């Protein structure tokens, strides 16, 4: 963006534009109940008009700002498309059904939530992707939760907590690399710094899952329903341990630092080979990859009338009570009719709208003005960390993408952290503690839209149960005010943990 072109917005104008945009998006999503796309587009139009008419910014400059913001997330969009393919073919080939089937055999309500947290954490650490974790093992765990009688919003919140723990702590994660790059920190110094805030938070979340698991251990287990789910899964899919091969290979490739795109696509290829081995035709395989899987037997059972239902059960040798068969059929149809490249287009279109909005906001200078004003009044370390965290959350709320919530506040606060003598890893930690973690808590944010779409639970429904995602930012501010885990940059260029700057 060219320097000195047009006028710099005042703080009052910047806050006013933010308020108008917030009102438009909130009214559309919450009051009218419409998708966020068009309200965000309308907000973008308002921002552009103010930029051109009031600030005298050239349209070409504003437009380029929007396009540059979209370019930042192009790799993520490609990954999103591949994940859609993964979900569709992994269901058709029996990968996800196998994970559900065997998971139902070994898990109980008392340990399910803790196991979900741990499994999603490990997979996300290995893959570096919360999206991959939620779109693969997350879906399987949601299916197991159905069978165990655990509410979908609760299980979705725990899936997201585990997935985003790995996303922010894995050296393979894009955000874990982006945050220190913006702040000027070393990758592994950044990860070490995050242990101070994320470690205690993770222990608290683990304790919460244990307590909630005890609550569901008293009688939620429906053995008949679980047996019916396993029976109907086995009737529709070829359940075997071969279903573990694609996810294990994807995890191993990620552990060997294979780039995300080829690593995920390897999971697609392996699942395609499984489908061919199972006798699926080429057209069916392509349709599953493109449009997702459509439940067949379970859907027929769910919609069959009395006599037809009995005949269908007998034809497939299913010894399940008719009413239970229809209930489970509805459940499996809702769970397994999903995936495919095409299913991600809604989310991708939302990403484009949100990123363009964020880009024109930055091009007009509104966010820079607001965030810049915060640095003038902040004096303490806790205040600095709190200002970054608040700014990252506002960015997630208004800019619609976690990348922008890392990049823009990171740019704005970098100089202030240097002047204060704080190590760059403190800034990068604050960016991830909020920018990465609160992104799935906003319905119109790219992450919130993706998680809601993949897990089948509205963002505001799972939000109260995504414990890690909102407790971690609080913990980050709290320990900063307590002067715990504060890194200072010394004159020699080394970072030192101390309550006060070593030079003071």
pLDDT in tens, 347-400: 788 778 877 887 888 889 887 787 677 767 777 889 999 999 998 998 888 776
* Joined tokens for residue 56: 């005298």
Distance CA 236, CA 318 (A): 11
What pLDDT shows up at residue 216? Answer: 73
**How many Cβ atoms sit within 10 Å of the Cβ of residue 351?**
24
For the chain, the straight-line distance linking the first and the last C-alpha, in angstroms and rounded, comes to 39
Closest CA to 271 of 294, 291, 246: 246
Q: Is the pLDDT of residue 255 over 50?
A: yes
pLDDT computed for residue 2 by the predictor:
40
Total Cβ atoms within 10 A of residue 59 = 10
Residue with tokens 């906001």: 361
Phi then psi for residue 293, to 5 deg, are -95, 140
Q: Which residues pair with 293 in a beta bridge?
A: 338
Chain position carrying tokens 């995602």: 469
Instruction: Look at residue 145 and tell me whether its pLDDT is greater than 90.
Output: no
Smallest CA-to-CA distance from 80 within 450, 366, 492 is with: 450
Quick one: what percent of the chain has pLDDT higher than 70?
A: 93
The C-alpha angle with vertex 155 and arms to 152 and 158, in degrees rounded to 5, equals: 145
Q: Are 412 and 368 in contact (CB under 8 A)?
A: yes
Phi then psi for 488, rounded to 5 degrees?
A: -115, 145
User: Considering Cα of 350, then 351, then 355, then 358, what sign does the dihedral take?
Assistant: positive
Where does the pLDDT of residue 221 fall: very low under 50, low under 70, confident under 90, or very high at 90 and above? low
Phi-psi bin for 399: left (phi > 0), alpha (psi -120 to 50), beta?
alpha
Q: Is the pLDDT of residue 4 over 60?
A: no
Q: Residue 275 contacts by C-beta under 8 Å, 6 or more apart in sequence?
A: 89, 92, 93, 284, 285, 288
Conformation bin of residue 240: beta by default, left when phi > 0, alpha when psi is -120 to 50: beta
C-alpha dist (Å) from residue 331 to 143, 219, 327, 334, 337? 9, 20, 6, 5, 10
* Average pLDDT score over residue span 44-52: 95
Concatenate the DSSP letters of all residues of 90-147 into one string.
HHHTTHHHHHHHHHHHH--HHHHHHHHHHHHHHHHHHH--HHHHIIIIIHHHHHHHHH
Q: What are the CA-CA distances from residue 201 to residues 121, 162, 209, 474 (Å)?
A: 13, 12, 13, 9
Contact 477, 385 (CB under 8 A): yes
Does the structure show a pLDDT above 90 at 284?
A: yes
* Residue 489 bridge partners (DSSP): 495
Per-residue pLDDT at 375 = 67
The predicted structure's pLDDT at residue 40? 85
pLDDT level of residue 16 (50, 70, 90 thresholds):
very high
Round to whole Å and give the CA distance between 497 and 418. Answer: 16
pLDDT at 127: 63
**pLDDT at residue 238 is higher than 80:** yes
Of 455, 427, 343, 470, whose CA–CA distance to 116 is shortest?
455
| Mean pLDDT (whole number) for 399-407 | 76
Among the ranges given (7-21, 143-157, 344-358), the one the predictor scored with the smallest mean pLDDT: 344-358
Are 403 and 79 in contact, with CB atoms under 8 Å apart? no
More confident of the two residues 262 and 334: 262
Dig out the tokens for 247 from the structure: 């996810």
Domain positions in the chain: 75-342
């Amino acid at each position: 963006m060219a320097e000195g072109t047009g006028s710099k917005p005042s703080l009052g104008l910047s806050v006013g534009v933010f308020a108008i945009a917030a009102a438009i998006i909130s009214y559309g999503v919450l009051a009218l109940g419409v998708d966020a796309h068009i309200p965000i587009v309308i907000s973008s139009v308002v921002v552009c008009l103010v930029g051109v008419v009031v600030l005298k910014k050239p349209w070409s400059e504003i437009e380029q700002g929007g396009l540059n913001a979209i370019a930042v997330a192009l790799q993520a969009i490609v990954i999103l498309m591949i994940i859609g393919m993964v979900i569709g073919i992994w269901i058709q080939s029996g990968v996800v059904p196998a994970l559900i089937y065997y998971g139902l055999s070994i898990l109980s309500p008392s340990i399910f939530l803790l196991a979900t947290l741990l499994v999603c954490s490990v997979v996300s650490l290995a893959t570096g992707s919360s999206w991959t974790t939620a779109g693969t093992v997350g879906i399987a765990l949601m299916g197991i939760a159905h069978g165990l009688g655990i509410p979908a919003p609760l299980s979705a919140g725990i899936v997201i907590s585990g997935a985003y723990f790995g996303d922010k702590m894995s050296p393979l994660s894009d955000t874990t690399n982006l945050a220190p790059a913006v702040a000027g920190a070393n990758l592994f110094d950044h990860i070490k710094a995050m242990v101070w805030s994320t470690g205690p938070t993770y222990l608290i979340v683990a304790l919460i899952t244990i307590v909630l698991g005890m609550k569901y251990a008293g009688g939620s287990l429906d053995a008949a329903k679980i047996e019916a789910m396993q029976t109907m899964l086995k009737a529709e899919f070829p359940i075997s341990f071969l279903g573990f091969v694609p996810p294990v290979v994807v995890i191993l490739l990620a552990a060997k630092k294979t780039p995300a795109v080829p690593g995920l696509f390897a999971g697609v290829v392996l699942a395609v080979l499984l489908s061919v081995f199972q006798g699926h035709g080429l057209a069916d395989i392509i349709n599953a990859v493109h449009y997702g899987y459509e439940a067949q037997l379970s859907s027929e059972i769910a919609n069959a009338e009395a006599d037809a239902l009995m005949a269908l059960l007998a034809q497939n040798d299913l010894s399940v009570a008719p009413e239970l068969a229809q209930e489970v059929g509805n459940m499996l149809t809702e769970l397994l009719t999903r995936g495919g490249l095409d299913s991600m287009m809604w989310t991708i279109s939302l990403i484009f709208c949100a990123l363009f909005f964020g880009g024109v906001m930055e091009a007009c200078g509104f966010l820079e003005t607001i965030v810049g004003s915060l640095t003038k009044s902040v004096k303490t370390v806790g205040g600095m960390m709190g200002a970054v965290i608040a700014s990252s959350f506002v960015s997630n709320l208004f800019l619609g993408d976690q990348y922008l919530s890392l990049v823009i506040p990171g740019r704005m606060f970098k100089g202030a952290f240097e002047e204060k003598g704080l190590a760059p890893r403190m800034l990068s930690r604050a960016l991830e503690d909020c920018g990465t973690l609160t992104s799935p808590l906003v319905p119109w944010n790219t992450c919130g839209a993706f998680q809601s779409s993949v897990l089948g639970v509205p963002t505001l429904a799972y939000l109260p149960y995504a414990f890690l995602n909102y407790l971690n930012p609080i913990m980050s501010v709290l320990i900063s005010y307590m002067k715990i885990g504060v890194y200072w940059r010394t004159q020699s260029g080394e970072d030192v943990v101390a309550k006060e700057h070593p030079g003071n």
